A and B are shown apart, each in its own frame.
Chain A
């Protein structure tokens, strides 16, 4: 399409983008990640466009599940055996395998509906909690995902691609666990917030380094966050390895246990196996806070303006370099909270082999959630469910747990390359300005 045609149609209807030429889209590609979806008093923008925004991620998940089913079938020897007996038997066996796997998956993620119903009818609290145990595991698993996903999302909003959430997570783990075990005799009311704060500060400072380097020298944050990851991994190894400064001293490469006063309280303390803790509630609260900060404050306005169009931000008098530092610090602080809640709520110490992978899944979460806090929470719940479900699927249906990684990978590919989904399902591309550009800031 040429420029003239677009200018003509911009005139015909102002709904149509006025300028699609490549130069223009290169220089200002960022788009509003549906902040309007949450601003109650703005009823005007169409509800349809919001639904459409969700359409591609949903279709991506569905497509991934379908391909995942094929992978399950193709890796199941019983299906091959059934096909040798006959085509129909083969198909039936394939369906059986898929249904068995995915129902085990569902039960692992959300609990057995029959059991839950029975427990609810009996009114026995203990039974109810046992029945919904898989669901609590989903929520617990989702907790660090939410923090890490928010971390990367804030970066995207500010035009920064924080690949360093993993490293920030490690540094925050060290600071949190140190405050957790080294300070003794404090009341929980002081010790717990202090330990959380230690994680936030550790992550924030670590992340602020590449932010500062980018603002000051233009050094690309992708390279620097990756490099700082390695430093963080090795630093944590040094601190925690046998004989290291923070090792327990009993010959195991783990930190000492944190003081009970730094524990994040479990939500069902009577049920020892239920590990769901206050960290999940904190995650929801923080997600709301991030949304408020991004879309309701001058700080968020600056972050997003720099993210969308740094030149316009500079023109508007925003200190772009300082904003990079602030954005990275907020991002790192959020990544830090992922480590803090994991340690204070679940592990209660920091192992040397702490390789979590959250920092990298977080990129997928931010993409899936369209860099919007609500989207990130939903995406994290999905990933939590995938992880929790996969454990059960492996146990009951004997489907390898790796299938989850394949599903996650497929979902991410489809989200990152939405053209594939659009092509398969013939979804029309939204006009520019309504579509969310997820890969902005990747350059």
Chain B
């Protein structure tokens, strides 16, 4: 029997770049192919070709042994190819049934919608693959994990049997991830075939039958989970050996630097986004915040850095009260801030690197002399930091908008961490970065900790929090569900807390290595 899907020599060129270079990929019926690669390796381009959003310049696609011509998504759908995008395409105010029906509504006479028929089919699909989705539920009431299942139902409803899942675990808690994996197993057991796109090595190893690794638009390796391991895959992905977890010596925390007491913050929807949190971050430790996105982490960081006002509570940095202080006062109290959205908050994309590097020091000597900005110190500083922090750029005059995400982040890290700081606040510091840059930024954060700074890291990646942090603080719906030492934390326990289930032990509000006075 021919493979259900076969890509042969797919090549796609964009002006000045070869996005896909003669890629071969085979998917057998009832199997999962893990497509692994860093950002920009060409995974999405390849899948967009398969889904008809792009057309390949060279190469052929065979579906069930027959040459397929996929010009647009409708062609792909007709061939039974479906895709769940990273960002869900659901209408929040409609029900599951209405969302699934969109575009292919079943109607009664005179064009009236026939929801019952659709709902019955959805229930059938849900039962058959163990999806557990209620057809009458309204999308906005559903957690992201369930919304993703609705997306999968949409494909199955359209009789897709080749399912492309683009970074499906990015928004899920660990429990939801294992739920998704069960669904994938049930899908392939009943003859569906899945392409699972990810840059998370562990997940790809767990779920795939075959693994294809892309780098710079080429297939650099094709392997199976049995023949491979995380280290090999990472090396393949990056093209060199990679340190997977940051080596970190044990270190005694010194004294509290960041103190947050009973902090309440109203979010954009006028509900309490941060609902009475109290914690400390000590000098010489990294406290990581785990939690599914949207549970108050963003608002917490915004308040700590002066970008948002709190409703109640107190924040001090090294003894200085910075509650609702303007950002500059907080910076001058010794805080560095690596913002969550680097392009929107952390950089002026049009400015050259040189001018981005003075964003927090432009008004101080030696950069400023009176109201004049002095070119020489600005350039010297830029040259030094670009070398020191390994920013890959043609020159310090290159607009930051022209750099890759990893290099943009290095510009921010260089600017923020090159000053002597007592507290470093990093929100999603490695989001969307390649393995090499992640490694680099982790090393820098650990270095700050070893220098005695308090480091506060918010990340949606549980693995990142686990490998970086000394203590882990879990947030759920604006409250702290628990603060646990990283050494004893398990993914399962953290996952439960992230889902809002309170841990057994009391929260440790201070580092556990604290010496008794």
Q: Which of B218-276 contact A (CB under 8 A)?
A: none
A-B contact pairs, 9 of them (CB 8 A): A5-B17, A7-B405, A8-B40, A8-B42, A11-B216, A31-B349, A296-B372, A298-B371, A317-B306
A372 CA to B517 CA in the complex, in Å? 63
A261 CA to B328 CA in the complex, in Å? 48
**Quick check: is B375 within 8 A (CB to CB) of the other chain?**
yes
**Contacts A4-B19, A305-B359, A311-B345; A10 near B403 (Cβ below 8 A):** yes
**Quick check: is B513 within 8 A (CB to CB) of the other chain?**
no
Q: What 8 A-B pairs have minimum CB-CB distances, sorted nearest first? A: A317-B328, A7-B40, A433-B399, A9-B17, A4-B44, A31-B350, A10-B404, A8-B40
**Contacts A4-B43, A315-B345; A12 near B397 (Cβ below 8 A):** no
**Quick check: is A266 within 8 A (CB to CB) of the other chain?**
no
Residues of A within 8 A of B402 (CB): 10, 14-18, 431-433
Q: Is the CB of A27 within 8 A of B398?
A: no
A13 CA to B39 CA in the complex, in Å? 15
Chain A nearest Cβ from B440, distance in angstroms = 15
A316 CA to B327 CA in the complex, in Å? 7
Residues of A within 8 A of B327 (CB): 314-317
Instruction: Mark A residues whose CB is within 8 Å of B.
Output: 1-19, 24, 27-28, 30-32, 36, 39, 41-42, 44-45, 296-299, 301-302, 305, 308-309, 311-312, 314-319, 431-434, 437
Q: Is the CB of B401 within 8 A of A432?
A: yes
Chain B nearest Cβ from A168, distance in angstroms = 24
Q: Is the CB of B45 within 8 A of A309?
A: no
**Quick check: is B88 within 8 A (CB to CB) of the other chain?**
no
**Quick check: is B407 within 8 A (CB to CB) of the other chain?**
yes
Chain A nearest Cβ from B19, distance in angstroms = 5
Q: Is the CB of A28 within 8 A of B331?
A: no
Residues of B within 8 A of A298 (CB): 362-363, 368, 371-373
Residues of B within 8 A of A1 (CB): 14
**Contacts A14-B404, A433-B350; A312 near B359 (Cβ below 8 A):** yes
A39 CA to B354 CA in the complex, in Å? 14
Q: Which of B31-60 contact A (CB under 8 A)?
A: 39-45, 48, 53-54
Residue of B nearest to A27 (CB): B344
Q: Is the CB of B19 within 8 A of A27?
A: no
A428 CA to B328 CA in the complex, in Å? 42
Besides the known contacts A5-B45, A10-B40, 18 further A-B residue pairs in the complex with CB atoms under 8 A apart: A4-B40, A4-B44, A5-B17, A7-B39, A7-B404, A8-B14, A8-B40, A8-B42, A10-B405, A18-B403, A27-B344, A28-B401, A31-B401, A32-B350, A302-B362, A308-B351, A317-B328, A433-B401
Q: Is the CB of A18 within 8 A of B404?
A: yes
Residues of A within 8 A of B326 (CB): 317, 319
A24 CA to B344 CA in the complex, in Å? 8
Residue of B nearest to A315 (CB): B345
A30 CA to B399 CA in the complex, in Å? 12
A311 CA to B337 CA in the complex, in Å? 14
Residues of A within 8 A of B18 (CB): 12
Q: Is the CB of A301 within 8 A of B397?
A: no
A3 CA to B87 CA in the complex, in Å? 13
Identify the interface centre among A3, A16, A315: most chain B CB within 10 Å of its CB.
A315
**Quick check: is B217 within 8 A (CB to CB) of the other chain?**
yes
Residues of B within 8 A of A36 (CB): 352, 397
Q: Which of B391-410 contact A (CB under 8 A)?
A: 392-395, 397-405, 407-408
Residues of B within 8 A of A30 (CB): 348, 350
**Quick check: is B347 within 8 A (CB to CB) of the other chain?**
yes
Residues of B within 8 A of A39 (CB): 375
**Quick check: is B339 within 8 A (CB to CB) of the other chain?**
yes
Instruction: Mark B residues whose CB is within 8 Å of A.
Output: 12, 14-19, 39-45, 48, 53-54, 216-217, 305-307, 326-329, 331, 337, 339, 343-352, 355, 358-360, 362-363, 368, 371-373, 375, 392-395, 397-405, 407-408
Chain A nearest Cβ from B428, distance in angstroms = 15
Chain B nearest Cβ from A342, distance in angstroms = 30
Q: Is the CB of A312 within 8 A of B397?
A: no
**Contacts A31-B399, A432-B401; A19 near B350 (Cβ below 8 A):** no
Residues of A within 8 A of B306 (CB): 317
Chain A nearest Cβ from B22, distance in angstroms = 15
A19 CA to B343 CA in the complex, in Å? 10
Residues of A within 8 A of B362 (CB): 298, 301-302, 316
Residues of B within 8 A of A27 (CB): 343-344
A36 CA to B375 CA in the complex, in Å? 12
Residues of B within 8 A of A8 (CB): 14, 17, 19, 40-42, 45, 216-217
Chain A nearest Cβ from B383, distance in angstroms = 12
A319 CA to B329 CA in the complex, in Å? 12
Q: Is the CB of B344 within 8 A of A312?
A: yes
Q: Is the CB of B404 within 8 A of A28?
A: no
A42 CA to B362 CA in the complex, in Å? 19
Q: Is the CB of A305 within 8 A of B403?
A: no
Residue of B nearest to A30 (CB): B350
Identify the interface centre among A9, A431, A432: most chain B CB within 10 Å of its CB.
A9
- Determine which of B12, B348, B360, B394 lies in contact with A15 in the assembled complex, contact meaning CB atoms within 8 Å: B394
Residue of A nearest to B369 (CB): A298
A79 CA to B349 CA in the complex, in Å? 54
Q: Is the CB of B337 within 8 A of A16?
A: no
Residue of B nearest to A26 (CB): B344
Chain B nearest Cβ from A19, distance in angstroms = 7
Chain A nearest Cβ from B236, distance in angstroms = 17
Residue of B nearest to A431 (CB): B402
Chain A nearest Cβ from B252, distance in angstroms = 33
- Determine which of A11, A42, A308 lies in contact with B350 in the assembled complex, contact meaning CB atoms within 8 Å: A308
Q: Is the CB of A312 within 8 A of B348?
A: yes
- Determine which of B307, B343, B373, B397 lies in contact with A28 in the assembled complex, contact meaning CB atoms within 8 Å: B343
Q: Is the CB of A2 within 8 A of B53?
A: yes
Residues of A within 8 A of B375 (CB): 39, 41
Residues of A within 8 A of B329 (CB): 317
Chain B nearest Cβ from A290, distance in angstroms = 14
Chain A nearest Cβ from B75, distance in angstroms = 18
Identify the interface centre among B39, B337, B351, B393: most chain A CB within 10 Å of its CB.
B351
**Contacts A10-B403, A296-B373, A301-B362; A315 near B394 (Cβ below 8 A):** no
**Contacts A298-B373, A315-B307; A2 near B350 (Cβ below 8 A):** no
- Determine which of A9, A308, A312, A316 lies in contact with B16 in the assembled complex, contact meaning CB atoms within 8 Å: A9
Chain B nearest Cβ from A392, distance in angstroms = 42
Chain A nearest Cβ from B282, distance in angstroms = 26
A231 CA to B134 CA in the complex, in Å? 61
Residues of A within 8 A of B360 (CB): 316-317
A8 CA to B46 CA in the complex, in Å? 12
Q: Is the CB of B401 within 8 A of A18?
A: yes
- Determine which of B17, B344, B403 lies in contact with A14 in the assembled complex, contact meaning CB atoms within 8 Å: B403
Residues of B within 8 A of A315 (CB): 305, 307, 327, 337, 339, 345-346, 359
A63 CA to B63 CA in the complex, in Å? 53
Chain B nearest Cβ from A431, distance in angstroms = 7
Q: Is the CB of A2 within 8 A of B373?
A: no
Chain B nearest Cβ from A369, distance in angstroms = 18
Residue of A nearest to B48 (CB): A2
Chain B nearest Cβ from A439, distance in angstroms = 14
